[in-house]
Amino acid sequence: DTGSAAAVPINEVDIAYVTPVTVGTPPQTLMLDLDTGSSDLWVFSSLTPSSQVRGQEIYSPAKSSTSKLLSGHTWSIRYGDGSGSRGTVYTDNFTIGGLEVESQAVQTAQEVSSSFTQEQSLDGLVGLGFSTLNTVRPSSQLTFFDNARPKLDEEVFTADLKYHATGSYDFGFIDRAKYTGNITYTPVQQSPGYWTHSLSGYAVGSGAFQSTQIQGISDTGTTLLYLPTAIVTAYYRQVQGAQNSQYYGGYVFPCSSTLPTFTFGIEGARFTIPASYINYTRISPTSSTCYGGLQSSSGLGINIFGDVALKAAFVVFSGTNPPRIGFGTK
Ligand SMILES: Cc1ccc(-c2noc([C@H]3C[C@@H](O)CN3)n2)cc1F
């Protein structure tokens, strides 16, 4: 089997992407954030206090003839930005782009943090990290990809995220029409559960490529690209008026500045992020100061190859043994 579904930016600066999924019988449609940096599938639900729901679609297990309570199981998750949610667990039919898993663990939120309440067009997350990261207790649950794996034509899913446009996630096949040339693969270290791999180096604008191993995680649920401070300062040294602002918590610059491109390596292949992707957003609607899409990872303890980088390529997440990740030019 295979599946294919849209990845729709939820706002005008691509802060996150949502994908239509269906849960239950008859199908209830929700828009979920497919996140390779976590492994819980959770949804706003009939169990979420109405004070915490602001326009989101909800899953009501009581309205599904195929829902089953996973008795005595709970979950609680905290994301990199400090947001979080927690609740109980049902199993039910779950489909993405025509690919169905019969009894997928669907984690129903009984509490969500304010930043989720405020994100009106996001109804929950589908974790596509390794199932070892799942927070359901007393027994951890499998991700949609792990459940679907036995029926997939090929043990892969792909991400084709786009700048200010709708892209796609595919399951079980690699769509030759979505990239040119070949996919370059590199090994993935799957412990503790992220898609962890290395870049082979980087270049700022037309500068020389610096060959250096940079380990990090490819995380579709993170908006920006976070790299070591030395690389980030070398980049913004080329930007007139750029500064690392304590006030704004990162590098900002005049919106009128000319930004260089940023190139990253995967093995021998090179992928160039257009300057427009790094001119991420105005710090406020009427400001002429802009916030960068490339920021330092020094506070995170890990480098994160988020959407700013991933949308510059066609990315293959391969669940083969051993797992690997592939990048193609598009
Ligand atoms: C309001 C909101 C907050 C966080 C996230 C979020 N989703 O994925 C991630 C990254 C960080 C890491 O934790 C796992 N992947 N962050 C999404 C939201 F809509």
Q: What are 6-41's pLDDT values in tens digits?
A: 999 999 999 999 999 999 999 999 999 999 999 999
From the list 7, 318, 1, 43, the residue with the least C-alpha distance to 148 is: 1
Give the position, in ligand 1's atom list, of the atom nearest the Cα of 222.
Answer: 10
Among 14, 40, 92, 219, the one annotated catalytic: 219
Burial 42-73 (b: 16+ CB within 10 A, else e): bbbbebbeeebbeebbbbebeebeebeebeeb
Among 14, 35, 40, 307, the one annotated catalytic: 35
Rounded to 5°, angle at Cα 123 from 12 and 57 = 110
pLDDT at residue 83 greater than cutoff 90: yes
297-314 average pLDDT score: 97
The answer to whether residue 219 is catalytic is yes
What band does 191 get if pLDDT is binned at 50, 70 and 90? Answer: confident
- Report pLDDT for 269: 98
Give the position, in ligand 1's atom list, of the atom nearest the Cα of 113.
Answer: 1
Q: Which of 53, 79, 117, 123 to mutate to test the pocket of ligand 1 (most atoms within 8 A of CB)?
A: 79
CA-proximal residue: ligand 1, atom 18 (nearest): 116
CA-proximal residue: ligand 1, atom 19 (nearest): 116
CA of 81 to the centre of ligand 1 (A): 7
CA of 284 to the centre of ligand 1 (A): 22
**What are 47-73's pLDDT values in tens digits?**
999 999 999 999 999 999 999 999 999
Question: Rounded to whole angstroms, how far apart are CA atoms 140 and 82?
Answer: 22
**Secondary structure of residue 291 in the 3-state scheme:** strand
**ipTM of this complex:** 0.98
**Secondary structure of residue 163 in the 3-state scheme:** coil
- Report pLDDT for 76: 98
CA of 226 to the centre of ligand 1 (A): 14
The answer to whether residue 35 is catalytic is yes
